[in-house]
């Protein structure tokens, strides 16, 4: 495990950057989904497949053993779900993006879901340290009636330690395609000096923000009503509907508040979207 990024910076030591790749393919046969292929390079792994809901849903916990993402690091995840496979992915804790003296660090994720497949990406959040330069890019390709449910939660600065995000930058890009047609595209680029962080039209001086999405063929009025009845208890949450997608937004002072809100949305919507009650991954309680 590499030393703490702040300690490295103070000492002037130079630590080699990580190049990490993880590729997973989930298959389906009868009533069972399973992890059919698993390849990795560098420190990005899945230790084993789990079945907390029985054989129909294959759960994988994506682990980044170094514990943090530092200057020059590049993480690449590729997730494929064959026809009718149901894959659920989460993380053991929040991803930490360390201060960068120069350059930056990046994460790229590609999700490919075949017809009838379900992919759930349910990470525990992202903490962007003061001085970090982080770039996240996600592309989701959906075939036929495939479903994707996912979220991203970002905390600017180590709020629990009283740290402000006074320098650095954060960039995020998400593109979703269905049958090779682009149906969702979102870009974000935040600099610590930007007035958007303080503006009421932006983050309104709140350090935590997040987006929840549920892509499925048909978003009916009941799904929207159920989602809008789900309230954020610690921050501001809102849900809107676009063709083929429900979008939840959160802005607040607490990563835990954002996580609880998105979990509540997931618990309310999952039975309506995929026909299965929500079973929280055990790793969330450890």
Q: What does the pLDDT look like over 121-164, one tens digit per residue?
A: 999 999 999 999 999 999 999 999 999 999 999 999 999 889 99
Judge whether residue 119 has pLDDT over 50.
yes
Give residue 66's pLDDT. Answer: 84
Among 166, 142, 141, smallest CA distance to 156 is for 166
**Looking at residues 111-118, what average pLDDT do you find?**
98
Q: What does the pLDDT look like over 33-76, one tens digit per residue?
A: 999 999 999 999 998 999 999 999 999 999 998 878 998 999 99
Q: How many CB atoms lie within 10 A of CB 28?
A: 22
**Rounded percentage of the chain residues whose pLDDT exceeds 90:** 85
Give residue 16's pLDDT. Answer: 59
**Looking at residues 238-265, what average pLDDT do you find?**
97
Structure confidence at residue 5 as a pLDDT band (50, 70, 90) = very low
Q: Which residue has the higher pLDDT, 96 or 4?
A: 96
DSSP reduced 3-state for 226: helix
Give residue 57's pLDDT. Answer: 98
Judge whether residue 175 has pLDDT over 60.
yes
pTM (2 d.p.): 0.92
Q: How many CB atoms lie within 10 A of CB 251?
A: 19
Extract the runs of DSSP E, i.e. beta strands, from 30-65: 32-41, 45-50, 58-63
Structure confidence at residue 229 as a pLDDT band (50, 70, 90) = very high
């Amino acid at each position: 495990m590499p030393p703490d990024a702040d300690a490295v910076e103070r000492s002037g030591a130079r630590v080699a950057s990580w190049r990490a790749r993880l590729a997973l393919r989930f298959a389906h046969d009868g009533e069972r989904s399973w992890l059919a292929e698993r390849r990795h390079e560098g420190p990005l792994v899945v230790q084993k497949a789990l079945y907390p809901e029985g054989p129909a849903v294959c759960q994988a916990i994506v682990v980044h053993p170094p514990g943090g993402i530092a200057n020059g690091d590049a993480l690449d995840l590729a997730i494929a779900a064959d026809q009718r496979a149901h894959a659920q992915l989460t993380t053991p804790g929040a991803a930490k993006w360390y201060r960068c003296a120069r350059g930056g660090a990046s994460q790229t994720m590609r999700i490919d879901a075949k017809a009838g497949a379900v992919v759930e990406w349910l990470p525990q959040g992202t903490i962007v340290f003061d001085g970090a330069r982080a770039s996240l890019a996600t592309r989701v390709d959906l075939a036929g009636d495939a479903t994707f449910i996912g979220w991203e939660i970002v905390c600017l600065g180590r709020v629990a330690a009283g740290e402000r995000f006074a320098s650095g930058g954060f960039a995020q890009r998400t593109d979703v395609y269905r049958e090779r047609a682009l149906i969702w595209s979102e870009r974000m680029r935040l600099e610590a000096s930007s007035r958007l962080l303080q503006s009421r039209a932006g983050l309104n001086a709140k350090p935590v923000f997040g987006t929840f999405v549920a892509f499925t063929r048909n978003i009916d009025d009941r799904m929207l009503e159920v989602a809008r009845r789900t309230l954020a208890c610690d921050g501001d949450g809102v849900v809107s509907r676009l063709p083929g997608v429900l979008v939840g937004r959160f802005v607040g002072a607490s990563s835990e508040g954002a996580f609880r809100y998105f979990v509540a949305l997931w618990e309310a919507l999952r039975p309506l979207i995929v026909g299965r009650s929500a079973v929280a991954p055990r790793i969330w309680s450890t």
